[in-house]
Amino acid sequence: HSWGDVLEVWLLFIHCFGAGQEFTLTQPASVTVQPGHTLTISCTVSYSGTTAWIRQPAGKPMEWIGQNCAGCTATMKPSLKNKFSIEHPSSKTVTLNGQNMQPGDTAVYYCARYPQSHKVHLELYKNTSWCYSL
């Protein structure tokens, strides 16, 4: 994804704070993982469709990790495809799995919804963030 995509995510992220969204994404508030261990986070969603995972290390831009939908094959950022995988086993659960997590992976992680009609745009729900730290 280009820098323009990152700016687009930021703009829509801010825009959606004030909008009454008709969808809900639920994640744990925080998770701590030991270096070298695996990470598993499940996001429960109230819609059917494509869900993306995005992370933002402190003081850095957001980074798209990948996306998946129920019955689909995950699409991952090439540089992260050996680090993360995304499972969407049901229409209501989307799971991010990380391998060999390191201090450099510390970030706020978001699950995000792709609207059905505009899959190039992201809608983010403010209260879906959680902080992963080592």
For the chain, what are the domain ranges? 3-133
- Residues 90-125: tens digit of each pLDDT: 778 888 999 999 888 988 888 888 765 433 344 444
Assess whether pLDDT exceeds 70 at residue 69.
yes
Region 69-93 average pLDDT: 89
Assess whether pLDDT exceeds 80 at residue 61.
yes
Give the integer Cα–Cα distance in Å for 87 and 120: 20
The verdict on domain 3-133 having CATH code 2.60.40.1730 is no
Sequence-distant (≥ 6) Cβ neighbours of residue 86 within 8 angstroms: 53, 65, 66, 67, 68, 74, 76, 94, 95, 96, 97
Give the integer Cα–Cα distance in Å for 122 and 25: 13
**pLDDT of 79:** 96
pLDDT band at 60 (very low <50, low <70, confident <90, very high): very high
pTM: 0.69
- Residues 21-46: tens digit of each pLDDT: 456 666 667 788 888 889 888 888 87
Ordered DSSP codes for 70-128: TTS--EE-GGGTTTEEEEEEETTEEEEEESS--GGG-EEEEEEEEPSS-TTS-B--GGG
